[in-house]
Chain A
Amino acid sequence: MEKLSPKFKYEVAQEPGGEDIKLCFACGICTASCPIREIDEGYNPRRIIRMVLLGMKQRVLSSDFIWFCSSCYACTERCPQGVRFTDVMNAIKNLAVKQGYIPASFTQQIDILKRFGRLYEIDEFDNKKRVGFGLPRVEKAKGFTNKIMVLTELDEIILRNNEK
Chain B
Amino acid sequence: MKYALYPGCTVLGRGRNYEMAAREVAKAFGIEFVELDDFECCGFPVKSVNYETFMMMGARNIFAAEEKGLDICTLCSACTGSLTEVNKHLIEHFDEKTRIIARLKRNGINYRMGRDITIKHFTKILYEDIGVSEIEEQIEKKLSNLNIAAHYGCHYLKPTDIYDNPEDPENPHSLDELIMVTGANSVDYNEKMRCCGAGVLAISEDLAYSIVRPKLQELSKNSVDAMVLHCPFCSVMYDDNQKKIEQKFEEKYNLPVLYYPQLLGLALGIDAKLLGLRMNRVSTRAFLEKVGI
Assess A16 versus B51: contact at CB under 8 Å? Given A72-B158, A110-B46, A141-B40.
yes
B45, closest chain A residue (CB): A109
The stretch that binds B, out of A3-11, A23-31, A49-57, A88-96, is: A88-96
Q: Does A125 interact with chain B (Cβ within 8 Å)? A: no
Question: How far is the CB of B192 from the nearest CB of chain A, in Å?
Answer: 13
> Within the assembled complex, what's the spacing in Å between the Cα atoms of A72 and B234?
12
Chain B contacts with A in 8-43, Cβ cutoff 8 A: 9-10, 12-14, 16, 19-20, 23, 35, 37-38, 40-41
Interface size on B, residues (CB 8 A): 53
Tell whether, in the assembled complex, residue A144 and residue B47 are in contact, meaning their CB atoms are under 8 Å apart.
no
Residues of B within 8 A of A105 (CB): 202-203
Assess A90 versus B51: contact at CB under 8 Å? Given A113-B45, A145-B41, A147-B108.
yes
> Within the assembled complex, what's the spacing in Å between the Cα atoms of A39 and B211?
7
Binding site for B on A (CB under 8 A): 15-17, 35-36, 39-40, 67-74, 76-77, 84, 86, 89-91, 93-94, 97, 102-103, 105-106, 109-110, 113, 117-120, 122, 129-130, 133-136, 138-139, 141-142, 144-145, 147-149, 151-154, 157
Binding site for A on B (CB under 8 A): 9-10, 12-14, 16, 19-20, 23, 35, 37-38, 40-41, 45-53, 55-57, 60, 103-104, 107-109, 154-155, 158-160, 169-170, 194-195, 197-200, 202-204, 207, 210-211, 274, 276
Nearest 8 pairs of A and B residues by beta carbon = A120-B13, A70-B199, A73-B158, A119-B9, A117-B40, A72-B195, A105-B202, A93-B48
